[in-house]
């Protein structure tokens, strides 16, 4: 059951007086999906999550690679610097993928699990890492390629699956208050001032949970 909290500031404008009803009928309420309902997963949304993950992954690779390079000691033949750059780029990729998946999965009236995206991305790279460990002992070039593809694709697939396992509709937005608590996030809104015959109210805070 969804409960709501509403806090408003009331400003007395005149002595309270009973007001006649302007409309004797009851307006029909719009149908709003409950946040506990699980929406159907669409191909378009999954495709958007994949492309968004690749975009943020590229940014993660650039930032991570630069960080890895600048924290290196820059001594010797440069191999150490290259390794640090590669490691930094790898970390940036692993971080960037679930970020893009979550951002795309949170568009519209639906949201997905950010924690699931992160955990799924970590679990997804495990097979590639295992294959890479096997390759390091056998010097098999084919296994090296499989390991790289496994890490890159596994991170995306795991993040998409993990994020969408927690997919649900967003809570209906509290309308007309200055601060709005929605899906455990506080958002700044524009209060709608309600002017009555006796009292003017200014909504300050609304929460749905």
- pLDDT tens sequence across 132-179: 888 776 666 677 888 889 999 999 999 999 999 988 887 765 555 656
In a domain, 32, yes or no: no
- 192 and 138 co-located in one domain: no
Residues 103 and 122 in one domain: yes
Which pLDDT score is estimated for 67? 92
- Domain annotation covers residue 197: yes
| Whether residue 71 is found in the same domain as residue 159 | yes
Number of domains in the chain: 2
Distance CA 56, CA 58 (A): 5
How far is Cα 205 from Cα 8, in angstroms, rounded to an integer?
A: 7
Residue 35 lies in a domain: no
pLDDT for the residue 118: 95
Rounded Cα distance between 145 and 9, Å, is 64
Same domain, 100 and 129: yes
Flag whether pLDDT at 50 surpasses 60.
yes
CA atoms within a 13 Å half-sphere pointing along the CA-CB vector of 188: 0
For residue 67, being part of any structural domain is answered with: yes
The confidence band for 1, taking pLDDT boundaries of 50, 70 and 90, is: very low
Residue 16 in this model has a pLDDT that exceeds 50: no
Domain identity same for 154 and 53: yes
The answer to whether residue 27 is domain-embedded is no
Q: Is residue 22 part of a domain?
A: no
With respect to residue 49, please indicate whether it lies within any of the assigned structural domains: yes
Residues 111 and 192 in one domain: no
Residues 112 and 204 in one domain: no
Whether residues 108 and 158 fall in one domain: yes
pLDDT attached to residue 180? 60
Q: Which helix (H) or strand (E) holds 206?
A: strand 199-208
What mean pLDDT is reported for the chain? Answer: 75
Residue 95 and residue 177 in one domain: no
Structure tokens at 147: 């390991």
* Predicted local confidence at residue 135, as pLDDT: 74
pLDDT of 103 above 90: yes
Domain range for 52 is 43-166
Q: Is 80 exceeded by the pLDDT of residue 107?
A: yes
Global pTM value = 0.65
If asked whether residues 62 and 102 sit together in one domain, one would say yes
Residue 208 covered by a domain: yes
Bridge-based pairing of strands 199-208 and 194-195 is antiparallel
Instruction: Choose the most confident range, by mean pLDDT, from 2-6, 34-38, 121-125.
Output: 121-125
Same domain, 10 and 79: no
Query: Residues 65, 151: one domain?
Result: yes
Please determine, for residue 14, whether its predicted confidence score (pLDDT) is greater than 50. Answer: no
């Amino acid at each position: 059951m969804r409960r709501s909290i509403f806090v408003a500031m009331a400003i007395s404008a005149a002595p309270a007086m009973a007001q006649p009803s302007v409309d004797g009928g009851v307006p029909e309420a719009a149908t709003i999906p409950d946040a506990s309902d699980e929406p159907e997963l669409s191909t378009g949304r999954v495709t958007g999550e994949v492309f968004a993950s690749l975009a943020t992954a590229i940014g993660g690779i650039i930032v991570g690679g630069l960080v890895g390079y600048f924290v290196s000691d820059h001594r010797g033949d440069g191999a150490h610097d290259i390794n640090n750059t590669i490691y930094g780029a790898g970390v940036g990729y692993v971080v960037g993928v679930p970020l893009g998946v979550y951002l795309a999965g949170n568009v519209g009236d639906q949201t997905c699990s950010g924690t699931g995206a992160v955990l799924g991305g970590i679990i997804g790279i495990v097979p590639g890492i295992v294959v890479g460990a096997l390759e390091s002992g056998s010097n098999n070039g084919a296994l090296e390629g499989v390991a790289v593809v496994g890490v890159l694709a596994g991170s995306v697939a795991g993040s998409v699956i993990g994020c969408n396992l927690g997919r649900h509709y967003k809570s209906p937005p509290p309308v007309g208050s200055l601060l709005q608590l929605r899906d455990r996030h506080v958002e700044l809104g524009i209060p709608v001032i309600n002017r009555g015959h006796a009292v003017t109210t200014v909504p300050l805070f609304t929460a749905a949970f």
